Amino acid sequence: MKKVLLFVLVMASLMLCGKSYRDQTVTLVNEDIGRSLIDPEKYETVGTVIDSAFAPFDDPVFFEKTLKICKMSVGELDDSLIAEIQEHGQELIDMMGSEYRFVGFKVTQNYCLRDDKTEIASEKKIYIMDKDMANIFVEYDPNSLDYIMVQTMYKMWIDETMRIQN
């Protein structure tokens, strides 16, 4: 009986700790979004999804290096640009490694903004947070051209990897 009671107490405390991490995360994200708004009173959270973040694809450094390659001009492709692309590409390959590595948490925040006419605009932000869910590493706008380019590049790499393996 004592073991069962101890088990129940441990599980209850774990559930309470998990809830406080989620609450802490939602508060941190809401504060970050609120700082960027002209009128934070018109902000309303619709939903928050918290998931694990893994390197390489959720690593902000990997994202920035991929973005740099995406932005290189291919209009005037010369030997020096090809060499630079190959150099950055090799850095990404080295960063990818052979296994995924836990880097923290990926938080997707869906929210609405209301204007004076009660019209609603739906928005979304994606955050990469540390392992303790206490600090935000980076914030992404999933509708930005930069984010779309990088995610497209990731998808191409994954598709190509799957094709080669099959």
Cα dihedral: 60, 67, 46, 112 (round 10): 130
Contact 65, 92 (CB under 8 A): yes
Residue 36 class from Cβ within 10 Å (0-12 exposed, 13-18 middle, 19+ buried)? exposed
- What pLDDT is attached to residue 144? 95
- What pLDDT is attached to residue 31? 85
Per-residue tens of pLDDT for the chain, all 166 residues: 444 444 444 444 545 455 577 788 888 888 888 787 777 777 788 889 999 999 889 999 989 988 988 887 666 667 777 777 778 777 777 777 656 788 999 999 998 887 777 667 888 999 999 998 889 999 999 999 999 999 988 888 888 777 777 7
As a whole number of angstroms, the distance between CA 144 and CA 158 comes to 21
Residue 164 class from Cβ within 10 Å (0-12 exposed, 13-18 middle, 19+ buried)? exposed
Contact 26, 46 (CB under 8 A): no
- What pLDDT is attached to residue 9? 45
Q: What is the pTM of this model?
A: 0.74
- What pLDDT is attached to residue 98? 58
Contact 152, 63 (CB under 8 A): no
Contact 93, 85 (CB under 8 A): no
- What pLDDT is attached to residue 164? 76
- What pLDDT is attached to residue 74? 60
> Among residues 161, 132, 153, which one has the least CA distance to residue 57?
153
Q: Which amino acid is at 10?
A: V
What's 10-77 look like in SS3?
HHHHHHHHHHHHHHHHHHHHHHHHHHCCCCHHHEEEEEEEEEEEEECCCCHHHHHHHHHHHHCCCCCC
For residue 102, give both structure tokens. Answer: 């836990």
- What pLDDT is attached to residue 151? 93
